[in-house]
Structure 1
């Protein structure tokens, strides 16, 4: 739980703005102490972060509050995305056509449609990650150029980064280090997982791509982050598997108590003692939250 001061720090919003939003739009803390002080949980921060993101995009505050409520109320409730006559396969094909044409406005429209249709986890697992795989195949087959692939990747990175920030960081929860081993650079799936982990109530430190093994050890053992409970690596390709094994073994040697989890397409090549997260970010984040909830302090 967060006080208003901590919530404001996490969100980058002043305390007076938080009070004003609660007074004017009914958006804010859902709990109070016996003395009447506001307490914010992870979902409160997620809602407020989403409202701030909408305002930053140019939405009027009242409209942003209403849109935030619409998205939060539908989150995790709809079993499938609502499309206007299109299937996920159609939208994947559309993504490849958009990349080939370097059509940035159409890309924005497609991403808006997808990310507003269902929960973040459902969109990531059912459409986004399979679509990115298809995009990679299209690039290898020379259906799209490097420029087209980069245009899509950067647009999706921005969307995922915004969702990651909007999810908020529950500093009272078990903390994760999340990153790629040295030499690995395909981080969109990992960033999607990091977002799902925050939405599952975990605290995260996102290290990003191509992190040297020595830096993993420093991050896991430095006093400032000594409460790290788990390191999450990804093996996006089989070529990354040796770096994953090296980094996982080094982490185990430096911090025998540290839980090490691995995701990605080549996760089966990770050491057998690592937790395998599977190939879907939603269930993987939920699995890790369950494991850490019962892990001895």
Structure 2
């Protein structure tokens, strides 16, 4: 069923002027035009226009949104909504009100699916707290308190994961030496478990030789590393040492701000965001099963 222009504008929330501008700049043309020039859209197109409007209102540039699928736009919209609704949690953090913080986080964990809790609550909250700490609005003690509660809840979410099958692909996740921020590695492990991988979280700050030893003992196909801070040269040396210590058939996936500016290393893949990591999980699993 096609939808006319008036209903499209009302449902999507965009103006006629903006719609015409997007048509010219980004090719967002209607599915059909009548002989008299009337525009008609599919329901999917109307929803896409609504998502584009919602995400652009949330601060994202329309040019960066247009290439995304409706599914990706919907996830982004959920993240934006999550950021807007964590103000009460932030106030509890600022006040060092641990009981209220725990209650608010636990309530979200019980009402949101594990992946939604990660995407909508945990990661946006940690980014917000990190920004406020850098700006002097939140103390380091408050940041540590928040991290402890987030890790406690994420750990509990493992109980909601299905048991991996005996032939499930295996990975381990940790952080390099002197990197104590291990929430990212914990999230990676949980996401992999939710998708059927046999994933093991090793904690924080491991030397390359210990990671390589764990990889061999666990017979993994992938090692995941997360890092928010650290000197570029140190991180690069750690990765190169680890890469040379592992079988070439074991992938290394890295993520986090500290890894963003490293030069490419053969056999090491940078995961720029959560969706890239999830796509890598989905792509790798069937290929590994086929190889077996």
Question: Residue 205 of structure 1 corresponds to which residue in structure 2?
Answer: 200
Q: Considering only aligned residues, what root-mean-square deviation do their CA atoms show, in Å?
A: 2.8
8 Å contact from structure 1 (residues 180, 235) kept in 2: yes
Residue aligned with 1:228, SS? coil
Higher-Rg member (1/2): 2
> Relative contact order, CA 8 A, sep 6+: which one is greater?
1
1:113 corresponds to: 107
Residues 1:250 and 2:241 are matched in the alignment? yes
Q: Which residue of 92, 95, 104 corresponds with 2:98?
A: 104
TM-score, normalised on structure 2?
0.64
Indicate yes or no: 2:277 matched with 1:288.
no
1:217 aligns with 2:209: no
Counterpart of 1:235 (choices 218, 227, 230) is 227
Match of 1:88 among 76, 82, 106: 82
Aligned length: 212
Aligned equivalents of 2:98 and 2:231: distance in 1?
31
In the TM superposition, what is the alpha-carbon distance from 1:184 to its structure 2 partner? 1.0
Contact 2:225 2:253 (C-alpha < 8 Å) held by counterparts: yes
Residue 196 of structure 1 aligns to a residue in which SS?
helix
Deviation readout 1:143-164 (Å, 9 max, x if unpaired): 2223322221111111011112
Is the partner of 1:278 in helix, strand or coil? coil
- 1:129-278 equivalence runs, <5 A: 129-170=123-164, 171-221=166-216, 224-225=217-218, 227-237=219-229, 239=230, 241-254=232-245, 255-270=247-262, 271-273=264-266, 274-278=268-272
* Unaligned runs of at least 5 residues, structure 2: 1-73
8 Å contact kept, 1:176–1:202? yes
Long gaps (5+) in structure 1: 1-78
| Separation in structure 2 between the aligned mates of residue 260 and residue 157 of structure 1, nearest angstrom | 24
SS of residue matched to 2:225: strand
Secondary structure at the aligned position of 2:221 is classed as strand
Normalising by structure 1, what TM-score?
A: 0.63
In structure 2, distance between residues paired with 1:244 and 1:175: 24
The list of structure 1 runs, each at least 4 consecutive aligned residues, that deviate by more than 4 angstroms after superposition, is none
Q: CA deviation at 1:169?
A: 4.6
